[in-house]
Each structure stands twice: as structure tokens, then as C-alpha cells.
Copies of this chain bind each other. A is one copy, B any other.
Amino acid sequence: MSTASIELVFQALADPTRRLMVERLSRGPATVSDLAEPFAISLSAVVQHLNFLEASGLVHTQKVGRVRTCRIKPAALRGAEQWFAARRTSWERRLDRLADYLAETGDPARKGNA
């Protein structure tokens, strides 16, 4: 996942309305009106959020007749999830190096504990 994309994904999810829309869509496809229903905002505002979600790559939409059906794109979610995994492994590797260092230098505190 590109830097620009992860940027947009986090920006998209930073807004509570958009995050709830993603949660809704992860349970299955929905129309624009379906998505709008739980919110006390104008349909226009919902469409703007939807456009943002589509630009971020989190959501794909398809218009048939006058109805626009929205679905999540699991790949985008997976990409964001992997960003966290990368941070975690970076952190874990550092701990490993630290452990190696302590083992090599014969850290007394480490030897003393069991």
C-alpha cells in the first residue's frame, strides 16, 4: 500500500461518520440511502463522505439505474492493517536486538532473574 493511500485511509477513518459507514459496509453492501439512514445529516453530506471513502480506496461503488451500491474493498483494509503489523515488527525487532545485546554483554540483572 502506497504512502499516499495510507494517508487517505487514515484520514477517511478519522471521521466518525465515515468510520461507521465502513463498519456498516463491512457487514455487507448498501445503497447510498441505506448508508445515510442512521445519520442525522443531509444526503448530500453522506455522498461527500462516500466520495472521500471511494477516493481513499476503502470503498467501491457501482451505479445501476438510479441506485448506487457500495461495497468495501477488503484489500484496502488489509493494507492498513499491515501498516500496523509493520510498526509492530519494527518494534519487536528492536527488542530482539536489545535482548541480543544484553545476552552478549552478560547483563547481570538478566542473569540474576529467572
Contact = CB atoms under 8 A, between A and B. Distances in A.
Interface of A: 6-7, 10-11, 13-14, 16, 19, 22-23, 26-28, 72, 74, 77-78, 80-81, 84-85, 87-88, 90-91, 94
A98 to B, nearest CB: 9
A87 B26 contact: yes
A87 B87 CA distance: 20
A7 B11 contact: no
Q: In terms of DSSP, what is the predominant structure of the interface of chain A?
A: helix
Given A7-B19, A26-B88, A81-B88, 11 more contacts: A10-B10, A13-B14, A23-B87, A23-B90, A26-B90, A72-B87, A72-B91, A77-B91, A78-B88, A81-B81, A81-B84
Contacts of A77: 84, 87-88, 91
A87 B22 contact: yes
Contacts of A16: 7
Contacts of A26: 87-88, 90-91
